[in-house]
């Protein structure tokens, strides 16, 4: 059993398992990122289209109010002309009421027209801003979407390659040591081999006895942390 070689293979195996873990996680976050970018485009487009629809409705309303104003002015003129031909107080009172009523409606309609014109101006500016934003969002997000979709579509191929690499490495590692690695990996995740730091396990920080540290530095046997079970290794950073 060549400990140094096996430990080197284990390190490569751990790197592969880390990459496989990242690929699996990307299956979750890449679709989410894609959905977020697509949703931003859709929401901006909906806001733009809603403003256009609102402008269309306000324009139609403005036209309707202008027609109503014209009708009211015509009626006012007609009633004012009739004032010259009245013969009784009753007719006078009736026309006076109609004239006053038309003047009130004309005033209110003019106010509504001014409000509508103001809203139309606001909407035109709003549409311009939404259109600029939509073009910018589509440009930025579309470029990102191309890259993300390419990453997503290539994940399975990358996984197959990594799985093949893993098989090639595992057959070259001592079975007992590999079993230890797989057991720790199952319980602790992909961080199986940890560097000793400040005379303690680099993962759980449990102190490692000096004599064990000396044995680990020799590289003649494999030692695991008696607390978390991870495989302990010594590197140049262990003294720091």
Taking only the tens of pLDDT, the chain with its 240 residues reads 578 888 999 999 999 999 999 999 999 899 999 999 999 999 999 999 999 999 999 999 999 999 999 999 999 999 999 998 888 999 999 999 999 999 999 999 999 999 999 999 999 999 999 999 999 999 999 999 999 999 999 999 999 999 999 999 999 998 999 999 999 999 988 899 999 998 999 999 999 999 999 999 888 889 999 999 999 999 887 766
Predicted TM-score of the model (pTM): 0.66
End-to-end CA distance of the chain: 30
Identify the CA nearest to 172 among candidates 16, 45, 23, 48.
16
Domains of the chain: 20-154 (1.10.287.1490)
Cα separations in angstroms, 92 against 77, 83, 96, 106: 15, 7, 6, 21
- Contact in structure between 199 and 239 (CB atoms under 8 Å): no
The pLDDT, as a whole number, for residue 85 is 87
Identify the CA nearest to 189 among candidates 20, 12, 2, 8.
20
In whole angstroms, give the CA distance from residue 130 to residue 120: 15
């Amino acid at each position: 059993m060549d400990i140094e070689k096996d430990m080197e293979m284990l390190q490569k195996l751990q790197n592969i398992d880390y990459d496989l873990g990242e690929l699996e996680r990307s299956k979750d976050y890449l679709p989410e990122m894609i959905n977020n970018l697509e949703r931003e485009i859709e929401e901006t487009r909906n806001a733009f289209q809603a403003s256009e629809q609102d402008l269309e409705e306000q324009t139609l309303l403005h036209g309707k109010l202008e027609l109503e104003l014209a009708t009211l002015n015509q009626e006012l003129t007609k009633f004012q002309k009739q004032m010259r031909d009245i013969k009784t107080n009753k007719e006078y009172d009736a026309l006076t009421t109609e004239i006053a009523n038309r003047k009130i409606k004309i005033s209110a309609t003019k106010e509504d027209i001014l409000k509508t014109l103001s809203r139309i101006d606001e909407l035109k500016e709003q549409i311009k801003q939404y259109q600029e934003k939509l073009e910018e969002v589509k440009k930025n997000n579309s470029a990102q979407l191309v890259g993300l979709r390419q990453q997503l579509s290539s994940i399975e191929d990358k996984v197959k390659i990594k799985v093949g690499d893993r098989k090639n490495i595992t057959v070259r590692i001592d079975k007992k040591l590999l079993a230890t690695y797989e057991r720790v990996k199952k319980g602790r995740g992909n961080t199986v081999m940890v560097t000793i730091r400040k005379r303690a396990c680099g993962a759980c920080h449990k102190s490692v006895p000096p004599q064990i540290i000396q044995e680990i530095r020799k590289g003649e046997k494999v030692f695991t942390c008696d607390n978390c079970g991870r495989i302990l290794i010594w590197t140049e950073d262990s003294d720091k």
